[in-house]
Chains A and B, each alone.
Chain A
């Protein structure tokens, strides 16, 4: 197993500055080698430094373990090291000459579904680990459902511990068939299967001689090459105003810049826009990015937009185009994932934060709860407790400018906040309405495959 070497010359300016970014998350149950895999990726891509490694060697020795315990790399908090478990999402960074990577490393325990949802919310890709001896188990289904619900475009199913099944192609194919059957009920556009041994490094960085029957790329190769250029929405123009920049000085007397981040589509100077919810039209005069004036702005750029006329727009309002607008509504159908120990109050009031808008809201109905292991819809038991996922109807105090989550992860998502504790208690993914003729049920089928 040769270690992956990024020589310093590969970090020259042009090279480094041309790299793109892949955010991925890892999901697996407690003993399927997730931490070992991450440790392996960091170790082989030389993202682990000598002092960290020495520390690791020392701790491994203290614990009386024989092989280097790469899992210890990911447990940052004292309680985690003491209990040998991962409690919270940890973020890791590594780079190869092709790409830079951010890993949201989430714990696999059942009680930490909220962490997986958190880690997955910004991810382009999820690695789902399966123990080759055990095959597809309940947790695999749960993790895959969450990946589908949260709209991760790419899933890599890493069939791990292949060394313990003698690198058997038959066993691998059996698991591929098992998983594919289950996944046909989900909405994951891109699924790849890779047989690996995280412990020994087979097919992690380089293709293994022990799996000559496997013709695909190694895990790292897959991470480096998966196409993410179309993961963001570049079709529907959406821009939520964060704040208005008014310099109030002589040099920029009339400057009034609407600052925010493009959530979808493309904006150019000269474009007709419409400010929502007011419906006031205007024309874009200029767009200012971090490096000066821009000819166009697209997601996820942070810019300031000036208009040809004075219109009354402020934080929470949204710019779209006259011919392509989101729904403006106070009624929202959504899937919600619950995070708080206190159950969702089916007639309660919460604070809802959507894009840059914050409003009070009331839960109007709980439609059903999802059994996240079987994907069964439960309409009898409607209590939504911690780590539960269900479908709700919410009414907001002011209109929201929404798109279905499936179409846009920014204008299609919200969080619920407890009015009294200020804790973030739930995450919502909007199902309805959208511009199509499809019913909420059909759309939900699109999203979660239920």
Chain B
């Protein structure tokens, strides 16, 4: 009997595939939120496996802030083509133009929060009833409270104090007209699991995850990349450093880490000995103690 054991990574893989198949079976119009970041790459890879040899039964959807790293955008387009998936891109800039939301002011205007407006509009435009996201519970304390199947009301809001109990592997995707679900197949994965899986599957990832030279400015401990969307304050200046990214979000709020890690093995070593959380490089989470919870309640990823 002892041979009927799975390693933890295999268990996580089988669990995620089960969740992805439940989404395909329980919903009429699912979509997979795909940014070209490592978590969405792993999720898309698992989706390929879940439905092989058939193609992905749902489109890839990306909300483009216009402040994304070009490497991630190029990767996104290549990936969609490579797996033969339909790619839907909607732009925060269009939401701003249409008067649906306003650009932030200040030296560090971020479109991170504005993504919510575009995302909810996209969900409405395509009548998506489930959006698959790569969020993990180990990322952040509000996310630690998330369900696999996370119910959103007709305004796209999350009500953390009134979530459906989720027992065994029975996922309740029932909903009323106009409501939708966010589904997180990687809920139980950690940053280390994601990297190990990328290594095991030999997945290609955008180059910015590996060490490279980049001009950055140190703002409140977050190393922000040079970009036309950032205004330097008094005393600030760009300097060239050897960096890589641990998480890939909006360039205006995602910080780099100084790192010489240029291979997958070196990245894994670095993650194993890391002493700061992955989201520690995210300026968007540093805005307040409950910044993530507040964004999620409003309909953020």
Contact = CB atoms under 8 A, between A and B. Distances in A.
A121 B273 contact: no
A247 B7 contact: no
Interface in B127-150: 137-138, 141-145
A339 B170 CA distance: 15
Given A78-B293, A229-B4, A427 B167 contact: yes
A76 B176 contact: no
A79 B172 contact: no
B161 A423 contact: no
Nearest to B269: A8
A410 B164 contact: no
Interface in A114-140: 114-115, 117-118, 121-122
A242 interface: yes
Contact of A121 (B2, B142, B167): B167
Interface stretch (B46-54, B88-96, B114-122): B46-54
Nearest to B175: A422
Contacts of A121: 167-168
A417 B280 CA distance: 39
A77 B293 contact: yes
Contacts of A49: 274-277, 280
Interface stretch (A16-24, A28-36, A187-195, A367-375): A16-24
Contacts of B190: 93, 95
Given A50-B276, A51-B280, A290-B13, A415 B172 contact: yes
Given A11-B192, A77-B145, A353-B172, A261 B165 contact: no
B175 to A, nearest CB: 6
B280 A8 contact: no
Interface string A402-423: 0000000110011101000011
B6 interface: yes
B6 A20 contact: yes
Nearest to B174: A422
Contact of B200 (A17, A89, A114, A298): A17
Interface in B152-176: 160-161, 163-170, 172, 174-176
Contacts of A246: 54
B124 interface: no
B199 A13 contact: yes
Given A20-B8, A356-B25, A102 B188 contact: yes
Given A20-B6, A21-B8, A242-B21, A92 B144 contact: yes
Interface string A58-97: 0100000000000000011111010000011111110100
Given A8-B269, A11-B268, A422-B176, A245 B51 contact: yes
A113 to B, nearest CB: 11
B5 A87 contact: no
Contact of A315 (B17, B25, B145, B196): B25
Interface stretch (A152-160, A248-256, A320-328): A248-256
- Determine the interface band of chain B, counting residues with CB < 8 A from chain A: 35 or more
Given A51-B277, A78-B293, A16 B196 contact: yes
A19 to B, nearest CB: 5
A282 interface: no
A450 interface: no
B53 A251 contact: yes
B204 interface: no
A18 B7 contact: yes
Contact of A255 (B53, B187, B277): B53
Interface residues of A, number: 83
B289 interface: yes
B154 to A, nearest CB: 13
A117 B165 CA distance: 9
A301 B14 contact: yes
B17 A79 contact: no
A356 B172 CA distance: 11
B1 A88 contact: no
Interface string A2-22: 000011101101001111110
B4 A417 contact: no
B142 A229 contact: no
B98 interface: no
Contacts of A18: 7
B107 to A, nearest CB: 23
Contact of B25 (A93, A99, A243, A353): A243
Contact of A78 (B187, B188, B290): B290
A223 interface: no
Interface string B1-42: 110111111111111011001101100000000000000000
A229 B1 contact: yes
B168 A91 contact: no
A300 interface: yes
A76 B142 contact: yes
B6 A353 contact: no
B55 interface: yes
Contacts of B265: 13
B6 A17 contact: no
A18 B280 CA distance: 29
Closest 6 CB pairs between A and B?
Answer: A76-B141, A21-B8, A11-B272, A302-B17, A422-B174, A247-B54
Given A11-B192, A79-B161, 6 more contacts: A19-B9, A20-B7, A50-B276, A77-B141, A91-B187, A93-B137
Interface of B: 1-2, 4-15, 17-18, 21-22, 24-25, 46, 49-55, 137-138, 141-145, 160-161, 163-170, 172, 174-176, 187-188, 190, 192, 196, 199-200, 265, 268-269, 272-277, 280, 289-290, 293
Interface of A: 6-8, 10-11, 13, 16-21, 49-52, 55, 59, 75-79, 81, 87-93, 95, 99-100, 102, 114-115, 117-118, 121-122, 229-230, 232, 234, 242-243, 245-249, 251-252, 255, 259-261, 266, 288, 290, 298-302, 304, 315, 339, 351, 353-354, 356, 409-410, 413-415, 417, 422-424, 427
10 contacts: A8-B272, A76-B144, A77-B142, A93-B190, A248-B54, A261-B14, A301-B14, A302-B50, A413-B168, A424-B165
